[in-house]
Amino acid sequence: MTATPRPVFPFSAIVAQEEMKLALVCAAVDAAIGGVLVFGDRGTGKSTAVRALAALLPQMHAVADCRYHCDPANADGLCAECQERARHGALKSRLVAVPVVDMPLGVTEDRVVGALDLERALSKGIKAFEPGLLARANRGFLYIDEVNLLEDHLVDLLIDVAASGENLVEREGLSVRHPSRFVLIGSGNPEEGELRPQLLDRFGLSVEVTTPTDLKERMEVIRRRDEFERDRGAFVTKWKKQDDSLRRKILAGRKRLADIKVPDEVLELATRLCMQLGTDGLRAELTLIRAARALGSFEQAHVVDAGHLRRIAAPALRHRLRRDPLDESGSSVRVERAVGEVLGKPGGGLQAPAA
């Protein structure tokens, strides 16, 4: 049994895929954005990027022995067990890695929400709750590959928990509620099926990745991956500096998030953009502003400006457009068009910055 997990591919070493990296970084800066959906071709580094991001993030403080790794600093978000512990004195804390939980396609409902603890029930006759994937993902990332193929009853579960941040278990004579706040990351290939609109809406940002057809890019992908496979340790060390600086930027961004200003004219621009595109509900605007704020904070700006809006508009809005089955042009094009009309011609450029 190996004690430590094998080193993962460094985030900074991922070639190109700027939009995906930018969206993931924004989600890491502000978890309230609500997750990232990565749609696109197979083998384009989707899961590599998610795992790399989690590995990049600093360890977090969690209540020792808590199965949901509650945050000791957040008195309101504690689970029932930790509230009980807190009543008996200060909470002991320990450092844990940010969890990345994979939700495989064929998973059973029990394993997702948790169930009765088999072993204790059978051997001792004790009714105890055994947490599931939703518990493990608390304060971390829940990653679902091929999310568009996920069975409907699992989608139902996710939709509810992703919105409320709390998992309610009422089964097998158990009645448990525990916090389950996670950044939902989904990936999939649109050729194989569509996502249910309700679940689609839960994702804050959505990005499209394509197989790199640029020769140099593809070579760089292969070269770095090959180097990594041969000597994981050395490769990780080589990229440590970049990863460290990115980590600092993310942390600094989180701090700044509370202070960064969103001027009224930017709010107005966001509203006009959403109206132009005819998005449903307020969620689109909220997410757009939130994502622009995360991006601004990440880049250490003092105020959010139109440039931030422009760059994050496509990921924040493209999956929220009302679908017109007869419209052949893709959603990205429509967002781009609307951005051009509302914000004027790009001055700062639409392309994502280097992370």
- The binder of another protein chosen from 107, 159, 236, 257 (CB under 8 A): 107
Q: Does 172 bind another protein (CB under 8 A)?
A: yes
Least gap, CB of 236 to another protein (angstroms): 15
Q: Which of 89, 106, 258, 264 binds another protein (CB under 8 A)?
A: 106
Residue 194 engages another protein in binding (rule: CB under 8 A): yes
DSSP sequence for 101-130: EE--TT--HHHHHEEE-HHHHHHH----EE
The CA distance from 204 to 43, in Å, is: 23
CB count in 10 Å sphere of residue 200? 16
Residue with tokens 């947490």: 131
Asked whether the beta carbons of 342 and 276 are under 8 A apart, the reply is: yes
Q: Does 280 bind another protein (CB under 8 A)?
A: no
215 binds another protein (CB under 8 A): yes
Give me the least distance between CB of 238 and another protein, in Å please.
17
Among 61, 196, 238, 254, which residue sits at the site for another protein (rule: CB under 8 A)? 196
Rg (CA), the chain: 21
The tokens for 287 are 């997410």
Tell me the two tokens of residue 212. 């790199």
Nearer to another protein, 30 or 130 (CB): 130
Q: How far apart are CA 282 and CA 274, in angstroms?
A: 9
Q: Which one of 22-30, 78-86, 105-113, 312-320 is the stretch in contact with another protein (CB under 8 A)?
A: 105-113
What is the nearest approach in angstroms of another protein to the Cβ of residue 102? Answer: 6
Using the minimum distance from each CB to another protein, give the nearer residue, 75 or 95: 95
Please state, in angstroms and rounded to a whole number, the distance separating the CA atoms of residues 167 and 178: 5
Residue 175 lies near another protein (rule: CB under 8 A) = no
Choose the stretch contacting another protein; rule: CB under 8 A; options: 176-184, 210-218, 276-284, 344-352. Answer: 210-218
CB atoms within 10 A of CB 2: 5
Rule CB under 8 A: is residue 111 a binding residue for another protein? Answer: yes
Site for another protein in 37-56 (CB under 8 A): 41-45, 47
Q: Tell me the C-alpha to C-alpha distance, in Å, between residue 99 and each of 59, 134, 140.
A: 9, 11, 5
Active-site residue, selected from the candidate residues 247, 254, 283, 334: 283
Helices 264-277 and 283-298 meet at what angle, rounded to 10? Answer: 130
The least CB distance from residue 273 to another protein, in Å, is 25
Contact 177, 167 (CB under 8 A): yes
The residues, ordered by sequence, that sit 6+ positions from 204 with a Cβ below 8 Å of its Cβ are 27, 33, 34, 35, 36, 287, 290, 291, 316
Give dist(CA 284, CA 331) in Å, integer: 14
Reply yes or no on whether 283 is catalytic: yes
The minimum distance between CB 299 and another protein, in angstroms, equals 29
Residues 230-259 interacting with another protein (rule: CB under 8 A) = 230
How far is Cα 216 from Cα 15, in angstroms, rounded to an integer?
A: 10
297/331 with CB nearer another protein:
331
* Residues contributing to the site for another protein (CB under 8 A): 1-2, 5-6, 41-45, 47, 102, 104-111, 115-119, 121-125, 130, 136, 145-146, 149, 151-154, 172-173, 189-194, 196-197, 211-213, 215, 218-219, 221-223, 225-226, 229-230, 323, 325-326
Catalytic annotation, residues: 283
